[in-house]
Amino acid sequence: MSIKQLLFSLLSITLQQTAYSAQLTILGSGTCMPQPHRKAPGNLVSAGNTHVFVDAGPGILQAATKHVDVTTLHGAFYTHFHFDHIGDLPDILTWLHVNQWSHDLGEDIAAPSPFTIYGPVGIENHVKTFLNLAFAGATVTKCVKFVELAPGQTIEVGDFKVTVHKVPHTKESVGCRSTLLPTSSSPSNPGSCGCLLQPQG
C-alpha cells in the first residue's frame, strides 16, 4: 500500500461542495520520517462555523494558524494511536490549559471553547498517559472531553453528521464519513460525502 493510499484510507473523508460549502485542508501528509517539505499527518475540515482536525501529528496546531482561528476549533478526530498522527496532542492540550488558566486568573483572555477529542476505544486513557509522559504531572483541562468511536456509530459535530467505519491499518484504526447537516444556507439539501475510501492495494 502506498503512503497516499494509506492517507486516504485513514482520512476517509470526501466532501462534495454544495451551496453550503465544506473545505478540507491538508496541513501535513508526511510520515514520522523528517522531510523538509512535508509535515506529519494532519487535516483541517471546515464547514460553516465548524472546524475540526482529523489527525494532528507534530507541528499541525501551528500549521493550522495560517488557515483558521484555532480558538474556534471544535475538536479533533484521531484515526489511530501512532505517534505521527497524535504527536501534537501535548501542544494542543497545553495551549488549552494555558488559555483556561489565564482566563481563570482574570486575564483578558477568552475562555477556550469546549474541545472534544474523538478517537478509537481507549482514547482517553491513551491521551492522559501520553500527556503525563510529555509533561509529568500534567492534567487535562476542564474544557476538554473525550468521545470514543466505534464502527457503525453516528454522531453530530457542529455542522457535520459523522459515521464511523472500520478501516485497515492497526487493530483500533477507524475512519469517518461526513455529511453536511441542513442549515439556513442549505435548508433542504445537505451535502453528502462520497463513498468511504478504501486502499486499492
So which residues are the catalytic ones?
84
Taking residue 63's Cβ as centre, other Cβ atoms within 10 Å add up to 19
Contact 29, 5 (CB under 8 A): no
Q: How many CB atoms lie within 10 A of CB 57?
A: 24
- Residues 10, 144: Cα–Cα separation, whole Å: 24
Q: CA-CA distance, 20 to 194, in Å (whole number)?
A: 16
Q: SS3 for 176?
A: strand
Q: How far apart are CA 113 and CA 69, in angstroms?
A: 12
Alpha-carbon torsion angle 61, 84, 51, 191, nearest 10: 150
